[in-house]
Structure formats: C-alpha cells, structure tokens
C-alpha cells in the first residue's frame, strides 16, 4: 500500500459514515423490479445518483445492429426499446493516474413464484446482517458499492487522479450485450472492477455460456390412436438426455483445463424452460426447450456450438427407432469464458486493499457461471477483477446479501480506487467531480 495510514483511515471512516445512506439507496434500487427489458426506472435512479455526483453522463439505448456485428454478441429475441445503459464518468482535473471502470449490471433474473418468497422479492427488507430481495446480491449491492466507495474518497477531501467510468449495464444475465455495448461505445480503462456476489473472493476463471432453443416436432393424433402419433414432448426429453452425453464428455475433460481440475462438475447444461403441446387430448405436435450450456475458457463459442450441433445430429431417432425432427435456434448468450492472468498490477493492488480491510489473504476461485468480465478481458485486454460480497440464493428464493460483507467490500473498493488511480488532496474551492466535464 502506498497510501499513508492517516489517509487510509480517513477513507475507511468515510465508508462507515456513509454506510447507512448506502444501504438505504441499495434498498431503494432493489425495490425497482429491473427484470429484463424493464430496467428503465432503475436506470433512472442510477442516472440521477451519478448525475448528483457531478459525473459526465451518458445514457443510450442498445442498438441491435451495432451489437450483432460483434463476435461476442448474444442473440436477441426481445425488443431493445427503452433498454438503456448508463455510464457516468469522473474526470480528474489533471489526469495523472491510472484509469478504471467500475462496472455492475442492473438487470435481475425472474423471481419464480412469488408465493414461495418469505415476503415480496421487491420488499428489500433488512433482517440482521441480511438485505433481502431479488437482485440484492446479484448485483445491486455491488453496483451501489462502486458509487459509495467513490463518495468516501471525496468526502475524505481527496480526488482520484485517474479517469473513472461508472457503468450500470443491462443484459448481463442473458446475453452480456450491455457491457459489450459499453465497450463498443468506446469505454476502456486500465482495469475493471465488477462487484458480483463472489463471497469476498476474486474470480480467477469462469465458463462461457451459450443459450439455445431446441424445437422438436411431433405428429399429432387422437390419443385413441396414440401409437400412430409421435409425442414431441417425449422426444424432446429423449434429445435432452442424449445431450447429457456431451455434458459428460466435456466434464471428463476438466483436467486439461487449468483452474477447472478441482471442480466436481464445471460444465452444467441446464434445461431452463419448456413448453409444448396444445392440450391433454392430443398427442403433442411440438415441444420447445430452452437450454443453457457452459464451455471452458479457451474454447470458442463457435467451436462449442459446432460440437453441440454435431452431437445433436447423431440423435436421429428415439429409443423406439422413431425418427426425430429437431431444430436449434440460438436465443441468448454466445459467450466465451475467461481466465484472469495471475500477477497483474490490478490484482496485486486488490490483494493489498483486501488484506488491509479483511485482515487475510485474498482467495481466488473458479466459477462455473457466466460473467461480464469476459467482455473486458477477451475483447479489450483489460484485467477484470470480479470481486464482491457474500450472498445467498442468487437466482433462487429469498436472495440476500450480507451487509457486513458489503461494508468490507466497499472499503476494499474505495482503497482500490485510491491506490489504483492515485489521489490528490481536493482543493477547497473546486468540486472535483465537476472539474472537467465537457
């Protein structure tokens, strides 16, 4: 750490001083149900929060054609009308330090039956150390931590010496197109921090993800002559079973993928959604299943997709020898995984700030889930530090995030900003956030 003790203590004390307001703002944000394509009101809140801090604001609707031109783009089957990214930029008076992107996603995943939640997913209640609600952990607490970490530095009378882009992006949970659009718009920096819920650890490696829909056709008949029909739902079940052979094969290869050797089952094929048939008294004519498959970093999405298609081509009939007609359509992620190279300056700085706040060494791990970190590492060569708080039940019922963990992560990010960007004493007469807005 290059910060002197007194400066460090000032920053940490300001995180504590602002923490009640930080929690209140997180709760407010969680109360906005920013499900896919419904992020607008939550983005209004983020926009206003960044603008209040004197950041140079940029808000734009995602452009389907621009995104589609990128090799890492996800396939879209929704409208991007009113689906906006928000970026606020802090410019130091004199840009002398390293630049930084503080990224987070505003979109949240579906709640499932709300009756299964202890209280509404949008109540955003606090219970002991837990802040509950859909999106609380994944990842509104982190998104808000980025801003409040910055506040602490400024309230301490300091100004970061490097440019900082605060990004609130959409589409992380389904395509990754939000972060991709921000990159396409020209936002780059020398490091990015993404406070996803990672249990106070740093992500070393993760998988890529492909989404696709499988549509199986049947032959509808009256059930009285069922044997002359062909049941598309049964057939889809059979096809998915055969696809598991590929999942097994890929998992068996884990030893040849560094950082994945110790995971029990790194590659998960998830049958996430199913629809089919028209009613109970016809042999179903159709069935659609939505699948999410994972791929190792170093395997291109294109290559993984080819393997999937080739494997499906071997599924020509069901267990009774009836021919199967299946069609695949990609409808979301087409994303590669990434590995965060060991020993980067950014990681070393984070190791120092984590040790300072947590009192122990930063641990790294491999996650079998998608992360937007791949956008920065794969397409811009920017080290992505995906590092964030302890959570429970993300994508499940009663999702929640640990409040004390959020506090410590915020402190670590605040120190990271100061160490990475460098700091200067803010001049009393000027508002550092407004010192250079164009």
Closer to Zn ion by CB, 33 or 157: give it. Answer: 33
Helix or strand or coil: residue 64? helix
The residue (of 138 and 247) whose beta carbon lies closer to Zn ion is 138
Distance in angstroms (rounded) separating the CA atoms of residues 189 and 346: 12
Site for Zn ion contains 171 (CB under 5 A): no
CB-nearer residue toward Zn ion: 268 or 282: 268
Check: CB of residue 195 under 8 Å from CB of residue 143. Answer: yes
Cβ proximity to Zn ion: between 196 and 234 the closer is: 196
Distance (Å, rounded) from C-alpha 226 to C-alpha 224?
6
| Rounded distance between C-alpha atoms, residue 273 and residue 271, angstroms | 6
Tokens of 233: 């739902």
**By C-beta, is 72 or 162 nearer to Zn ion?**
72
CB of 36 to Zn ion, least distance (A): 13
- Using CB under 5 A as the binding rule, the residues of this chain from 128 to 147 that contact Zn ion are 138-139
What is the CB-side half-sphere exposure of residue 237 using CA atoms within 13 A? 8
Tell me how far, at minimum, the Cβ of 182 lies from Zn ion, in Å: 15
Which of residues 99 and 410 has its CB atom nearest to Zn ion in the complex? Answer: 410
Closest distance of CB 109 from Zn ion, Å: 9
Closest approach of Cβ 139 to Zn ion, in Å? 4
Q: Where are the alpha helices (DSSP H) in 276-429?
A: 301-313, 345-358, 373-380, 403-421
Give the nearest distance from C-beta 106 to Zn ion in angstroms. Answer: 10
Separation between Cα atoms, residue 416 and residue 392, nearest integer Å: 25
Which residue number has the CB closest to Zn ion? 138
Which residues ranging from 189 to 208 are in contact with Zn ion (CB under 5 A)? 196
Name the minimum Å distance from CB 225 to Zn ion: 50
Cβ distance to Zn ion smaller for residue 215 or 395: 395
Please name which of 423, 371, 404 lies closest in space to residue 155, comparing C-alpha atoms. Answer: 423
**Helix/strand/coil for 160:** strand
Q: Which is nearer to Zn ion, 84 or 138 (CB)?
A: 138
Number of residues that bind Zn ion (CB under 5 A): 3
Of 147, 139, 141, the closest CA to residue 373 belongs to 139
- Which residue lies nearer to Zn ion by CB, 324 or 409? 409
Q: What's the min distance (Å) between Cβ of 72 and Zn ion? A: 17
Judged by DSSP in three states, 323 sits in strand
Angstrom distance (rounded) from CA 383 to CA 375 = 10
Provide the H-helix boundaries in 216-344: 232-252, 301-313
C-beta of 138 vs 318, nearer to Zn ion? 138
**In the complex, what is the shortest distance from the CB of residue 240 to Zn ion, in angstroms, rounded to a whole number?**
26
| Count of Cβ atoms closer than 10 Å to residue 217 Cβ | 17
Least Å distance, CB 386 to Zn ion, is: 9
182 with 85: CB under 8 angstroms? yes
To the nearest whole angstrom, how small is the minimum distance from the Cβ of residue 44 to Zn ion? 21
Encoding tokens for residue 253? 């290869």
How far apart are the C-alpha atoms of 406 and 19, rounded to whole Å? Answer: 9
CB of 395 to Zn ion, least distance (A): 9
- Token pair for residue 399? 């999702």
199 φψ region: left (φ > 0), alpha (ψ -120 to 50), beta (else) = left
Residues 1-40 touching Zn ion, rule: CB under 5 A, are none
Geometric angle at alpha carbon 145, from 143 and 146, rounded to 5°:
70
**CB closer to Zn ion, 209 vs 216:** 209
The residues of the shown chain that bind Zn ion, judged by CB under 5 A, are 138-139, 196
């Amino acid at each position: 750490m290059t910060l002197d003790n007194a400066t460090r203590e000032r920053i940490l004390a300001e995180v504590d001083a602002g923490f009640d307001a930080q929690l209140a703002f997180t709760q407010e944000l969680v109360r906005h149900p920013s499900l896919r394509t419904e992020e607008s009101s939550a983005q209004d809140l983020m926009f206003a929060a960044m603008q209040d801090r004197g950041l140079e604001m940029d808000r734009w609707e995602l452009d389907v054609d621009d995104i589609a031109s990128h090799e890492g783009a996800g396939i879209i089957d929704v409208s991007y009308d009113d689906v906006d990214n928000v970026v606020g930029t802090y410019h130091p008076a004199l840009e002398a330090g390293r630049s930084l992107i503080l990224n987070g996603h505003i979109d949240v995943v579906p709640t499932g039956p709300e009756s299964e939640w202890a209280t509404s997913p949008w109540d955003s209640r606090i219970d002991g150390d837990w802040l509950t609600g859909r999106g609380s952990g994944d990842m509104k607490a982190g998104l808000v931590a980025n801003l409040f970490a910055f506040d602490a530095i400024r309230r301490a009378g300091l100004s970061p010496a490097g440019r900082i882009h605060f990004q609130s992006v959409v589409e992380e949970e389904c395509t990754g197109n939000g972060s991709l659009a921000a990159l396409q718009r020209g936002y780059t920096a020398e490091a990015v921090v993404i406070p996803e819920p990672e249990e106070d650890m740093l992500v070393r490696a993760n998988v890529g993800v492909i989404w696709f829909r499988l549509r199986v056709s049947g032959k509808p008949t009256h059930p009285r002559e069922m044997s002359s029909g062909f049941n598309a739902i049964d057939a889809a079940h059979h096809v998915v079973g055969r696809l598991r052979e590929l999942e097994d094969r890929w998992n068996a290869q884990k030893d040849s993928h560094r950082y994945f050797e110790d995971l029990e089952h790194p590659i998960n094929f998830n049958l996430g959604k199913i629809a089919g048939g028209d009613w109970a008294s016809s042999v179903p004519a159709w069935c659609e299943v939505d699948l999410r498959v994972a791929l190792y970093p170093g395997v291109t999405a294109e290559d993984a997709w080819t393997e999937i298609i080739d494997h499906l081509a071997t599924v020509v009939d069901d267990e009774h020898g009836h021919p199967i007609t299946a069609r695949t359509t990609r409808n979301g992620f087409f994303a590669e995984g990434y590995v965060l190279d060991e020993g980067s300056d950014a990681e070393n700085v984070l190791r120092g700030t984590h040790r300072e706040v947590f009192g122990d060494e930063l641990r790294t791990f491999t996650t079998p889930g998608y992360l937007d970190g791949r956008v920065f590492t794969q397409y811009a060569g920017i080290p992505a530090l995906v590092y964030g708080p302890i959570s429970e039940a993300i994508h499940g019922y009663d999702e929640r995030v640990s409040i004390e963990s959020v506090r410590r992560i915020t402190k670590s990010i605040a120190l990271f900003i100061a160490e990475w960007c460098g700091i200067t004493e803010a001049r009393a007469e000027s508002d550092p956030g407004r010192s250079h807005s164009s």
